[in-house]
A and B are shown apart, each in its own frame.
Chain A
Amino acid sequence: EAGVAQSPRYKIIEKRQSVAFWCNPISGHATLYWYQQILGQGPKLLIQFQNNGVVDDSQLPKDRFSAERLKGVDSTLKIQPAKLEDSAVYLCASSLPRDSSSYNEQFFGPGTRLTVL
C-alpha cells in the first residue's frame, strides 16, 4: 500500500516570502491532517479535513497560514508571508474517518522541512 506522499521534502526561503506544501493521502482516507513539528518538539495539529471540509483549524495561524482540500483528496498548505519562527517540519497525515466509538490510526508522510532565513 502506498503511503502518504509529500512534496517538496526540503524548502529554504527568506522571511516574508511565500511557500506551499503538497500532500497526497493514502487512497480512500477521508481524513487529512497537517501538523507542524518544531525541532525538538512533538507535532502540533494545524488543521484537520474530513473530505473537503474543515473539522478543526483552531490552531492554524490564519493571518498567514491557509490550507485547502478542494476535491477531498490532495491538500495544499500555504504560508504567506513566512516568518523565522515558521521554520519546522510540516507533516501530513491521513486516516479513515473516525466515528464516535473508534479511533483510526493516522499514517504520516515524511514531512517537508522548511527553513526560513
Chain B
Amino acid sequence: GESVGLHLPTLSVQEGDNSIINCAYSNSASDYFIWYKQESGKGPQFIIDIRSNMDKRQGQRVTVLLNKTVKHLSLQIAATQPGDSAVYFCAETSTGRRALTFGSGTRLQVQP
C-alpha cells in the first residue's frame, strides 16, 4: 500500500553542523510533499513544502530536495542549532486526495 518512510530513526549532530534527514515514499502519484517539525508536547509545525514539478526548494536555513526517479525526499538544515532538536516528519499527498500521509519520523538531536 501507500507508505512514506524514513531511513534513520535518530540523527545526532553537533551544533553548527549541517543536518540531512531522508524520506522515501512509495506512491508515485504523490505530487506534493511537506516537512513538519514536532517538538515534545506540541503538534506538528510546517517547515517547508515542495511540488512534484520542482526538485529543490530553499527556505531560511532549510532546503528540501525531491528525487522523483527514486521516490526520495530529503530535508537539509544548515548550521543546526539546539532549537532544531525535534522529531521531523515528511508527509505527502496528491491531487485529488485531500489527506496527508505521514512517515514515522526522525528524531534530530543537536549536541552543544
Contact = CB atoms under 8 A, between A and B. Distances in A.
A111 interface: yes
Contacts, number: 51
Could you tell me the dominant secondary structure of chain A's interface residues? loop
A33 B101 CA distance: 13
Interface string B79-112: 0000000000101010110111111110000000
Most buried by B among A48, A93, A106, A107: A106
Given A40-B104, A103-B32, A103-B49, A98 B43 contact: no
B67 to A, nearest CB: 20
Contacts of A110: 41-43
A111 B43 contact: yes
A4 interface: yes
B108 to A, nearest CB: 15
Contact of B43 (A41, A56, A108): A108
Interface string A13-50: 00000000000000000010100000011111100100
Contacts of A107: 46
A30 to B, nearest CB: 12
A108 B99 contact: no
Contacts of A91: 43-44
Contact of A56 (B46, B89, B95, B99): B99
A21 B37 CA distance: 24
Interface of B: 4, 32, 41-46, 49, 89, 91, 93, 95-96, 98-105
6 contacts: A42-B4, A43-B100, A100-B96, A103-B93, A105-B46, A110-B42
